[in-house]
Every structure is written in structure tokens, then in C-alpha cells.
Amino acid sequence: MNSNYLAADARHSIAAALIDSGCVSVRTDEPFRLPSGWASPVYMDCRRLISFPEARREVLGCAIKMLRESGCLDGLDGVAGGESSGIALAAWVADELNLPMQYVRKRPAGDRPVEGIVGSGDKVLLIDDVMAVGQSKVRFCKALHDVGAHVRDILVVFRYDTFPAAAELDSTKVRVHALATWQDVLEVARERRDFPEPAIEELQVFLKQPISWSQAHGGLGPEASGRM
């Protein structure tokens, strides 16, 4: 798996939009428990972006620019959103590019894992809001592959960039394109003083050793790194 990120100034612009939209939560008492089992003092909820038009435009503009410059729009046949948080994001991108859209279900409805029309051999961009480890992205890619699509690129608004990627995703040639990470949030929040100092300090400690931090707070630890 290859990773692609925006330039620093653009990442910081996205991080600021996420903070201003209330997408970022920080705890200094009880950690957040991610579905993958890791513990974190911070949580990202990009679903709030649907209620903030200016932030939506910022995200869309940066995403299209990044995808175009990385060449993954060349020959693209469709844009697929991961249920449910990736559906709105995929709709914005598909509309901007005038491309067909699909969405991938978390659980198939009958024998339909993918809603929308996918032609055999179609090159499809998978879009979701957040990637912590990537286990759901593996399932979405498999569902698209099963209906004949080829997924070579995944776009996420935000990537934790702290925990090991799922082994199935890490072993593929799929590229993950992320608009911002926790390091970007830290740098913006520290400069603007968006959160109380104890919260900033907790985030700094977490980012230095996220796996050890997780284990110390009841989540997965170093023993899980080799299994992801």
C-alpha cells in the first residue's frame, strides 16, 4: 500500500476546517475505543462536514486537486462511497467529476453488496471519511472487486496515521490519499490554542508513541502490531 498526502499548508487548512466544524474531540480522562480495538485520546467525526458548506467546499477542492495531480482520475469510471459516512463525500466528488456513483454496503442487502451500476473492469475510486487501520476499506474493496470493479485508489478526508494498517490492505498496491492527519490537527490546534493545554499535551504524548499509549489505556498494544 502506498500513501499520498497533501502539501503541509493544504493539510493544515483541512485540519483547521475539521476543528472549526467540531469534527475533533479530545479527552484527557476516558479514552476513545476504536472499532479495531485501539485506544486513542482523540476522535474524528467527519460526518459533521455535511452541515458546513464552506468546509465541504474546502474538502472537495483539496480532494479534487490531490486526485488530479496524483493521476488517479485518469480513466476513472466511477466513484464509490463506503456506507455510511463515505456516501456524501462520494456524491460531492462524483458530481464535480460528472461520473457515476455507487455505494458499498457494510452488509449486503440480499445479494447486493454494491448499490449502483458497476461495469465489469470499471476503474472505481473508493471514498470514505476516516481511516484508522483500514479494515473496513479492505471489505469495501473486496465487495467492489466481487462485482467486477478495479480499485487502485482510496480517498479519505482524514487518516489517523498512528496505528499499523490492516495486513490485507498493507500488502496491496492500492494507494491511500489522505487530506489530513492527527499531526496536522496538533500543529494547527497548538498554534491557534483551539483546545485546553492538557488536551494538547495528551495529544502530543499519544502521537509520540501511539501503540504504547493505547496499551496503557486498555486498548491494543505492541503484540497486535504484527497481526494488523
SS percent in the chain: helix, strand, coil, step 5 = 45, 25, 30
78 is in an annotated binding site: no
135 is in an annotated binding site: yes
79 is in an annotated binding site: no
Which residues span the domain enclosing 11? 2-225
- 8-20 vs 182-192: helix crossing angle, rounded to 10: 70
36 is in an annotated binding site: no
101 is in an annotated binding site: no
Quick one: how far is CA 219 from the chain centroid? 21
**Which strand (E) or helix (H) includes residue 108?**
strand 101-109
pTM of the model: 0.95
Collapsed DSSP state (helix, strand, coil) of residue 143: helix
Number of folded domains that form the chain? 1
Q: State the CATH number of the domain containing residue 118.
A: 3.40.50.2020
For 203-223, the pLDDT digits (tens) are 999 999 999 999 999 999 998
- 165: pLDDT strictly greater than 70: yes
106 is in an annotated binding site: yes
Please name the residues in contact with 161: beta carbons below 8 A apart, sequence gap of 6 or more: 178, 181, 182, 183
Please name the residues in contact with 183: beta carbons below 8 A apart, sequence gap of 6 or more: 161, 207
Name the average pLDDT for the chain: 95
